[in-house]
Amino acid sequence: MDAFIGKTLVVGVLFVDNQERPVDRYETYGRIVHISDLKGIVIEKFDKSGLFRLPPDTDNLSPASPGRYQLKFSGMVVDNPDFTTFWTVENTRTDDIARFKATGFAAPGTDGTERQT
C-alpha cells in the first residue's frame, strides 16, 4: 500500500436517494497521506480544507491517464493525477451530505471530524 502514498487522487461521489435517484454530487482531489484497514484511504485535500477519508478499498483506485482533468461540478483543474475513484452513497440525509463533503467516510469509531495537525 505504500506505493499509493504521495500520489494524487481525484475523487467523485454521487449521492442517491432510496430509489437510486441522484440528489447531489461532490468532487475533490488531494494527495494520499495514509492507507490502512482502520482509517481507510486518507487524502489531504489540495484546497487545504483538511483530510478526506475513503473506504480502504485500493481496488477502487483506477490509474488516471496523463492529462488535464477538469472536475465537472466544481470546475477545478487537476494536472496529471495518478488515480481516480468514484463512489455512490445511498440514502443520505442533507446534514450527512454536508459532513461527508467536509470529511468523507468516517473512520470506524469516529465522527469523521479529525483534521491533520
Mean per-residue pLDDT of the chain: 88
- The answer, yes or no, to whether residue 48 has pLDDT greater than 50, is yes
Residue 108 lies in a domain: no
Whose grid coordinates read 461527508? 100
Q: How far apart are CA 50 and CA 100, in angstroms?
A: 12
For residue 30, name the pLDDT band (cuts at 50, 70, 90). Answer: very high
The answer to whether position 21 is within a domain reads yes
Contacts of 115 (CB under 8 A, 6+ apart): 50, 51
In which domain, by residue range, is 12 found? 2-103
Q: Is position 34 within any domain?
A: yes
116, part of any domain:
no
User: Given this model, what pLDDT does residue 91 score?
Assistant: 74
Q: Note the pTM of the prediction, 2 decimals.
A: 0.86
Q: How far apart are CA 37 and CA 46, in angstroms?
A: 23
CA distances from 27 to 38, 63, 74, 92, 110 (A): 23, 17, 7, 17, 23
Looking at the structure of the chain, the number of domains it has is: 1
Quick: pLDDT tens for 77-101.
999 999 999 999 987 788 889 889 9
CA atoms lying within 13 Å on the CB side of residue 48: 0
Strand spans (E) along the chain: 8-16, 22-36, 40-45, 51-54, 62-63, 68-70, 77-79, 83-90
Whole-number Å distance between alpha carbons of 25 and 1: 28
pLDDT at 42: 97
Q: Does a structural domain hold residue 12?
A: yes
Instruction: Please give the average per-residue pLDDT across 45-53, as a whole number.
Output: 93
- High-pLDDT (> 70) share of the chain, %: 90
Domain annotation covers residue 114: no
